[in-house]
């Protein structure tokens, strides 16, 4: 089964936050700590520069969560989780650097905020990237190989076993990376062709495939569970 999917780029009419303003924001401890979910639907930020971020938003909406497109540091205000979608990792990395989001996302994660990366987003989360090497957020102790399955012209769809449910999990791969190695404490939730395809540690979740392009909400539901736990911990600590 094959189906093609083109990446989309989004333009923003919002004015970028100045570096000085971004720095002041980052110096405020707990600014991005989760709010009390009893006050309304959970709010998840989706970095909206490339990839099918609209599909992520649709999946979250289906599960009863709100989402916000993140293009500046100020867009993270009130978010209880962050999704890094697919696309081209070097382009996204440059965008994160230019907008001050690179440090903001790292700080969000350091405060226990959950971060979920799919495909290129998983590359950005890794501590080591190959083919070729590049900088990353370094939030998940793993080594990833870019375009590990080759430069596909269309998507490849597989159904694999997962620890998240009894039934097979649908996986859509589009020029996906391969997780070559995982560090200590990494939990492998699903594999493909003998390689980890869905992994987590603490508040960080990464998938080498595109769960947002399927009808199966399992992975996003798991991420929302992570965000809910983070919100509860933040509320008890405040």
Active site residue 79: no
CA 188 – CA 200 distance, rounded (Å)? 7
Residue 73: closest CA among 9, 12, 125, 127: 12
Helix (H) or strand (E) holding 58, with range, is helix 53-62
Active site residue 210: yes
Provide, for the chain, the percentages of residues in helix, strand and coil under a 3-state DSSP scheme, each rounded to the nearest 5. 30, 30, 40
Contact 177, 214 (CB under 8 A): no
- Mapped onto helix, strand or coil, the DSSP state of residue 99 is coil
119, 200, 220, 222: the catalytic one is: 119
Cis-peptide, bond into residue 2, ω within 30° of zero? no
Burial label, 21 (beta-carbon count in 10 A; 0-12, 13-18, 19+): middle
200, 212, 220, 222: the catalytic one is: 212
Active site residue 119: yes
- The catalytic residue positions are 119, 210, 212
């Amino acid at each position: 089964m094959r189906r093609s999917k083109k990446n989309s780029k989004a333009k923003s009419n919002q004015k970028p936050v100045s570096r000085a303003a971004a720095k002041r924001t980052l110096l405020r401890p707990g600014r991005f700590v989760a709010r009390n979910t009893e006050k309304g639907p959970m709010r998840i930020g989706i970095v909206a520069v490339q990839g099918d971020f609209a599909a992520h938003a649709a999946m979250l909406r289906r599960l009863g969560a709100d989402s916000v497109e993140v293009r500046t540091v100020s867009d993270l205000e009130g978010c209880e989780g962050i999704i890094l979608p697919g696309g081209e990792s070097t382009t996204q990395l440059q965008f994160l650097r230019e907008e001050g989001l690179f440090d903001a996302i790292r700080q969000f994660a350091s405060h226990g905020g959950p971060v979920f990366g799919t495909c290129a987003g998983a590359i950005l989360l890794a501590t080591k990237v190959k083919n070729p090497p590049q900088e990353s957020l370094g939030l998940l102790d793993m080594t990833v190989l870019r375009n590990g399955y080759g430069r596909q012209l269309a998507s490849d769809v597989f159904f694999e076993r997962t620890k998240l449910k009894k039934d097979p999990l649908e996986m859509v791969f589009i020029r996906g990376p391969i997780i070559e190695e995982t560090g200590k404490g990494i939990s492998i939730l699903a594999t493909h062709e003998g390689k980890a395809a869905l992994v987590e540690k603490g508040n960080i979740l990464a998938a080498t495939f595109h769960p947002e392009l399927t009808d199966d909400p399992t992975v996003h539901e798991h991420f929302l569970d992570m965000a809910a736990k983070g919100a509860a911990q933040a509320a008890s600590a405040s």
